[in-house]
Amino acid sequence: MAIKLFAGRIRYKIIAVVGIAVAAGLIATAAFYTTHQERSVLAQNERTMRKLTESVIEGLQSVMLAGSADIAQAFADRLKRVPEVEDFRVLRIDGLEAFRDNSTIEEVNERRGEEEFLTRETEARIRVLDRRDPNLQRVLATRTILSIYDEDQNGDPTLTFLSPIANQKACHKCHGSARPIRGVLKLTTSLAQVQRDILQARQDSLLVLVVALTGTMLLTGFMLGRSVVGPIERVTKAMSRASTGDLEYEVPVGSRDELGRMAQSFNVMTSELRNTYDGLRREQDKLTTIIRSAGEGIVLTDGSGCVVLVNPAAERLLGKSREEIVSGGLEALLDDPEAMRSWLAEDHAEGPVTVRYGRHVLQVFASTIHAGDGHVVGSAALLRDVTEEKRLEEELRRLSTTDGLTGLYNRRHLDATLETEWHRAARCKEPLSVVMFDVDHFKIFNDMHGHDQGDRVLCRVAEIFRDTLRGHDIACRYGGEEFVAILPATPASGAQQVGERIRAAVAASEVDGLKVTVSVGIACVPWVVADSPRHLLELADGALYDAKRAGRDRVSMAGEVGGEAATG
């Protein structure tokens, strides 16, 4: 239905445009023809009246030359009764009507020297035109007939002729030769009939125009519908079906003109689209298989931010259903919208971020996808489960930094940590202490009770050692039965208290019924002068051996001589 309405509108628009163009042409032609006819009628009427005026002037001159002035007056009065003549007057050059007084008769009798013409018994001075009337002056100056279009009292159009009456040579006997114009003939005719003829011509032209326009529109509509609109409707119908996914429909090619080539091109286009669509569908099937079978979680959105794809791996890793992920949106994917927004805004040049979510450790790569012109077409989040990798990594890190027997930090970690704390203490001008101890007579434990027993002694001492230290102290196994504690920001007095606690705790314990003691050596900067972390350890080791020489199971402070600190 929508196709038919759309096609119908196209049909009507084309017909309307063509109709307007044709109508404009016909109207312009009719207007030109009508105007030309009106001008022709008016010009013909003017020529006719001009001939009439010239004939009247010739008749008056003939009468006047015959010496019958009274006949001239009767002739003029008779012309006034002609239906088309509204006014007819013979004027003197001063604008007064002639043949109404005796001034001309007296002038002629005086010039001829005899009473040849009888005077009138009654006289009247009738002024028709003012002496200074511009039209009168123009006629006298140009000696040509002047046409004047005007209206009468009823509003009807009129045509007035002012025609000069020449003073011919035959008239000089009575009127002299001083004036070239004897008078002016004023003839006024009504143009009402002419206007009626013009109106009738307009009506006839309008009727012809309507008939021609109607016929042209019908013929144009039929021809356009057959040769233009019909093919366009067929292509439009095919395009509409193609927009709904029906690419099998083909447009009949009925001609070899532009419309036929357009239909043929459309058929080629739909054929190419079918092939492309089939290829895309195959690729989509492959991509769908890859995405759904991928071990990584994949979540995609469109340009408006709506989630459009969630694979099973994402549901499994997040512990959420597809519906929950879609309704929550990409920003709430990991229940931290602010973090997700920041990830989407970054370019991840340094790689994905690692987060812990539930029971999983996930590597998250979130990105906003832009088109070539810069507008956002969607966003994507890739979730990779690295829980086992992180566990193995932590285990490897632990194994690389801890002692396998005691679980304390090993010698490698000891050296690295002591180096760091040494520089920090120097930079912050804080004290740094090292506590070193070993198990007294440990070789006897191994010789008398075996290495297994010796290992149990070391493990028990390590446990007491770890539990005795403060939270920020670092417990390390230095090697064999020797242990070292790094005490950041701890002065000599504090270090001595820590060493004494360790000694006392070990002495108060038993391992499989065996008593164990330790000897402790302490070195602290700036209590002693050491130029390197290794030197500090050597000082603590020296204090340890001082404790052993002093009888074991005791604490000895490096640099302490008779209770006073050494100065060098």
The CATH number that applies at residue 315 is: 3.30.450.20
Tokens of 324: 């929950």
488 and 557 both lie in a single domain: yes
Across the chain, mean pLDDT equals: 79
The CATH number that applies at residue 487 is: 3.30.70.270
| Best-predicted range by mean pLDDT (99-113, 148-162, 233-247) | 148-162
Tokens of 191: 């143009």
Tell me: pLDDT of 19 over 90: no
421 and 540 both lie in a single domain: yes
Tell me: pLDDT of 4 over 60: no
Q: Is the pTM of this model over 0.75?
A: no
Residue 499 lies in a domain: yes
Among 94-103, 105-114, 211-220, 544-553, which is the least confidently predicted range? Answer: 105-114
CB neighbour list of residue 431: distance below 8 Å, 6 or more residues apart: 425, 489, 490, 491, 492, 524, 525, 526, 527
**Angle, alpha carbons 392-394-400 (nearest 5°):** 100
31 and 104 both lie in a single domain: yes
CB neighbour list of residue 193: distance below 8 Å, 6 or more residues apart: 84
Residues 400, 403, 407, 410, CA torsion sign: negative
| Residue pair 514/458 in contact by the 8 Å Cβ criterion | no
Per-residue confidence (pLDDT) for residue 524, from 0 to 100: 95
Residue 52 lies in a domain: yes
Per-residue confidence (pLDDT) for residue 247, from 0 to 100: 65
| Residue pair 553/518 in contact by the 8 Å Cβ criterion | yes
CB neighbour list of residue 528: distance below 8 Å, 6 or more residues apart: 536, 539, 558, 559, 565, 566
Burial classification of residue 438, based on how many CB atoms lie within 10 Å of its CB (0-12 exposed, 13-18 middle, 19 or more buried):
buried
Q: What is the tally of structural domains in the chain?
A: 4
| Residue pair 10/233 in contact by the 8 Å Cβ criterion | yes
The label of the residue with tokens 């000895």 reads 556
| Residue pair 158/150 in contact by the 8 Å Cβ criterion | yes
Per-residue confidence (pLDDT) for residue 437, from 0 to 100: 96
Which one of 164, 197, 230 terminates a domain? 197
Q: What is the mean pLDDT of residues 212-219?
A: 78
Per-residue confidence (pLDDT) for residue 468, from 0 to 100: 92
| Residue pair 500/443 in contact by the 8 Å Cβ criterion | no
Among 102-116, 181-195, 434-448, 526-540, which is the least confidently predicted range? Answer: 102-116
358 and 486 both lie in a single domain: no
Tell me: pLDDT of 104 over 80: no
Give residue-wise pLDDT tens across range 348-401: 556 688 888 888 888 888 888 888 787 888 888 888 887 777 777 776 777 777
| Best-predicted range by mean pLDDT (54-58, 190-194, 327-331) | 327-331
- Going by their DSSP bridges, the two strands 307-310 and 353-357 should be labelled as unpaired
37 and 103 both lie in a single domain: yes
DSSP 472: T
Tell me: pLDDT of 233 over 70: no
348: left (phi over 0), alpha (psi -120 to 50) or beta: left
More confidently predicted of 339 and 264: 339
Which one of 386, 417, 451 terminates a domain? 386
Residue 231 lies in a domain: no
489 and 555 both lie in a single domain: yes
CB atoms within 10 A of CB 292: 13
> Where residue 518 falls among pLDDT bands split at 50, 70, 90?
very high
Residue 203 lies in a domain: no
> Where residue 272 falls among pLDDT bands split at 50, 70, 90?
confident
CA-to-CA distance for 502 and 437, rounded, in angstroms?
9
Which one of 237, 258, 288 terminates a domain? 288
309 and 380 both lie in a single domain: yes
Per-residue confidence (pLDDT) for residue 63, from 0 to 100: 60
Rounded percentage of the chain residues whose pLDDT exceeds 70:
79
Residue 528 lies in a domain: yes
9 and 66 both lie in a single domain: yes
Residue 81 lies in a domain: yes
More confidently predicted of 100 and 61: 100
275 and 300 both lie in a single domain: no
> Where residue 494 falls among pLDDT bands split at 50, 70, 90?
very high
483 and 467 both lie in a single domain: yes
Among 47-51, 112-116, 356-360, 368-372, which is the least confidently predicted range? Answer: 112-116
Per-residue confidence (pLDDT) for residue 30, from 0 to 100: 72
112 and 23 both lie in a single domain: yes
> Where residue 82 falls among pLDDT bands split at 50, 70, 90?
low
**Which domain does 516 fall in, by range?**
402-565
The SS3 call for residue 370 is: strand
Per-residue confidence (pLDDT) for residue 562, from 0 to 100: 36
Among 199-213, 387-401, 415-429, which is the least confidently predicted range? Answer: 387-401
Residue 209 lies in a domain: no
More confidently predicted of 317 and 239: 317
476 and 538 both lie in a single domain: yes
Per-residue confidence (pLDDT) for residue 81, from 0 to 100: 66
Residue 205 lies in a domain: no
Residues 44, 45, 50, 56, CA torsion sign: positive
